[in-house]
């Protein structure tokens, strides 16, 4: 069993739909990261959170420390949101352990 598990692995949505990607982890963490990787490979850090909820534009990330679970939500999804979304658990020494990623495709 991986230390960080994401679901679903693949997600296809229509433009405008509300999207949720889930992440569960089994290790003790200092923070939980959500990253976005575009087809060219470049990675953008979306959120780093250790409790509660953060919002940036149409993106919302939540974390439940007791349940060791985090979710990434995208409201009013758009084709440009199509990418791989990666959850990563940060442990001691800023070390990141990555989930396998969720391939999101938003169709117009």
Partner 1 sequence: GAVVSQHPSWVICKSGTSVKIECRSLDFQATTMFWYRQFPKQSLMLMATSNEGSKATYEQGVEKDKFLINHASLTLSTLTVTSAHPEDSSFYICSASLAQETQYFGPGTRLLVL
DSSP letter for each residue of 20-47:
EEEEEE-S--SEEEEEEE-TT--EEEEE
For 94: left if phi > 0, alpha if psi spans -120 to 50, otherwise beta; the answer is left
Q: Report the residue from 19, 59, 74, 86 that binds partner 1 according to the rule CB under 8 A.
A: 86
Site for partner 1 in 59-78 (CB under 8 A): none
Considering the complex, state which of residue 9 and residue 14 has its C-beta at the smaller distance from partner 1. 9
Q: Is 108 in the site for partner 1 (CB under 8 A)?
A: no
Binding-site ranges for partner 1 (CB under 8 A): 33, 35, 40-45, 48, 86, 88, 93-101
């Amino acid at each position: 069993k991986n230390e960080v598990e994401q679901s679903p692995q693949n997600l296809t949505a229509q433009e405008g739909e509300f999207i949720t990607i889930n992440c569960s982890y089994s290790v003790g963490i200092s923070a939980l990261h959500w990253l976005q990787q575009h087809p060219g490979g470049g990675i953008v850090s979306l959120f780093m959170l250790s409790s509660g909820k953060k919002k940036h534009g149409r993106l919302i990330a939540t974390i439940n420390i007791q349940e060791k679970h985090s979710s990434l939500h995208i409201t009013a999804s758009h084709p440009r949101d199509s990418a791989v979304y990666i959850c990563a658990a940060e442990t001691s020494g800023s070390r990141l352990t990555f989930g396998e990623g969720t391939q999101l495709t938003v169709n117009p």
